[in-house]
Amino acid sequence: MSRYFTQDHEWIQVDGDTATVGITTYAQSQLGDIVFVETPDAGKTVAKGDDAAVVESVKAASDVYAPASGTVVEGNPALADNPALVNEDPEGEGWFFKLTLSNAAEVEALMDEAAYKDFVAGL
């Protein structure tokens, strides 16, 4: 499995033609306490860069963008009852949605973990 990152602070973990998407530890730290998450419905088709989910904190509401194109397989059902999972484990159990990639090559243009750490260090 390979994990990639966007400049909008989403992560995508690719396993074959399926990918899991969430927001980074940096992103959740900037948002503060997460109070609501809206994940996309299964079957929704998204293009790279499309608004795919919404995350609301005590500070702000933000869109979560699709880091790659594909069809949503599922949203994380645990976030409906416990949006704080995003604060507790943003790059694990606090994932937002899974999708079947329609163009796996799109993820190759994203940052790897080392490049993302350098990007965040420069902010």
Q: 31 is written with which tokens?
A: 């948002």
Q: Which one-letter DSSP state was computed for residue 61?
A: E
- Predicted pLDDT of residue 25: 97
Q: Tell me what the mean pLDDT of segment 35-46 comes to.
A: 97
Cα–Cα distance, 93 to 40 (Å, whole number): 17
Cα–Cα distance, 123 to 119 (Å, whole number): 7
User: Residue 111, Cβ neighbours under 10 Å: how many?
Assistant: 17
Report, in angstroms and rounded to the nearest whole number, the Rg of the chain calculated over CA atoms. 13
Look at residue 111 and give its three-state secondary structure: strand
Question: For the chain, what is the mean pLDDT?
Answer: 96
Amino acid at residue number 56: E
- Predicted pLDDT of residue 13: 97
- Predicted pLDDT of residue 89: 98
Cα–Cα distance, 4 to 96 (Å, whole number): 15
- Predicted pLDDT of residue 38: 97
Confidence band of 1 (pLDDT split at 50, 70, 90): confident
- Predicted pLDDT of residue 36: 97
E strand or H helix that includes residue 34 = strand 34-38
- Predicted pLDDT of residue 118: 98
User: Residue 103, Cβ neighbours under 10 Å: how many?
Assistant: 11
Q: What is the pLDDT of residues 47-84, one digit of tens each?
A: 999 999 999 999 999 999 999 999 999 999 999 999 99
- Predicted pLDDT of residue 112: 97
Tell which CATH classification among 3.40.50.300, 2.40.50.100, 2.60.120.10, 3.40.50.2000 matches the domain 2-101.
Answer: 2.40.50.100
